[in-house]
Structure 1
């Protein structure tokens, strides 16, 4: 066989071998890519994203789009060839798999966590938007969840209003764990509660909680991780909204749409178009105080937003430096840290004073 032919054949065989190895060798990475972006002021799959019953709503010709990221599933194992392709692509991000899926978390747990975070983001968005508009939204510390098999099971129930612990009045959820952990494991904790149904009736009526409470004694157990006293509940806040609000968006999880849901709801309840007709997208968690928090996959989200037609992207302050490293042409990244920052930015966009916007800058 001629030397040139032998060399070519060897090279081809080596290439085939490398490709086969690339396909067969699994690597501990996951891939993120731009996901769907949905206008919170419009419809998704033929249904309104935001529905309000019992209060007048208004239309807006602009966009307030929430953005998402596609990620490889928890059970998917990326091979070396896919990882290299992702590293070289401009619209993909390859990250260590354990940053998305810790080894001790199952697929069901990931799905449950994402669903819970999405639900919480919706509730926070409603509360922040309504309070920003001047509505009264009463709140009460309640049992948000009871751990199965814990000392509190069958003693306390989701929705029970926690009025006091060991006689100390409870004003916010964080107090509950603090008061419980003052005990040693095996000691009793006395909860003063209003049963869930009565508590919700009081909230919906805008009145105070009933003065008569039930005294529930729970014996603490020892936490597995740090030996502190626990009873196995998660405390949270329940709210009484002045009218019914429904957010419909299937196949989306996590908390990162909170800011855009809040802005979308405010826009629907405000006669003036908050967008001024502009195409605005964004991301960011939001808490009950209106603080905007960072999210993952911001670089993929700005790509999705620009491809959808967005001109402005509301970006959590902590994500700004990363997002500003590679900004798609025609897209302005606006830094926001609170709901008020976002509303101020919308005001500048409506007025055409975009030079006054606080834009994201790369890290120095």
Structure 2
């Protein structure tokens, strides 16, 4: 089963909009009438409830997520951790792209979802240039979003799920490409070889193809760019028929599974995308234990860990809820069964 529909990044505009409900209680009640169970695949999940404490007893939260594998897994992690600490949680993961999640958060239809520092800085705060230092990027994003919009960021995770271009390894050797500057040179010397498979979102974002082309001085005709679903991008890049180069994400397990070569971003164009839980400041102040409950989990999520979790879903076909619960259990974050 493949559930990744678009990226994270972190991801931005989805054509699908939500109809925000005013107030957490209203969202909880309305969604409960229409949903019996929600998962990354839209089927009921059987994950046992565990107890790791009662810090959030009596609290009710609605947790959203974006609609690609990594963010769904992260959403499930939040759902399960909050429940393990006594909260009542409505699972609305796989809600849509960045826009539906952010709008739902601001409109109080959901209480939290995972976002990424680069997305916050460029998409939400409308800055044109990323900050290359990861710590400074996160600090600037979190501080500014809190001051301007009342949105708190609990993080960052060590994981950095940034964009990259990849190519099947044998083709990389044939063309002699190791870096994105090599691709830019190839676009001038052998333009017919520079064919791209990308998501629609990547084709329009400032931190996607338009900005990348400008930063590296590349001109790629539209007839050499194929717009595909994220999962198809990986398979078509591996096959090498539709395209030689594909847009990928650095924590995606399919990169390793398919034996793709990730090209070095030698001009450091792509922003840093460290994940964090985003929530309204009033929610954070009402439930200060959220920091204590979520922080240890956030700190454990590095690139290698996330890549393995993503691979279990996208390559091995496991359910996001099971994958997240297994990892949380091994780390001791769920306590004992109730």
TM-score calculated relative to the size of structure 1:
0.24
More helix by share: 2
Structure number, greater radius of gyration? 1
TM-score calculated relative to the size of structure 2:
0.25
More strand by share: 1
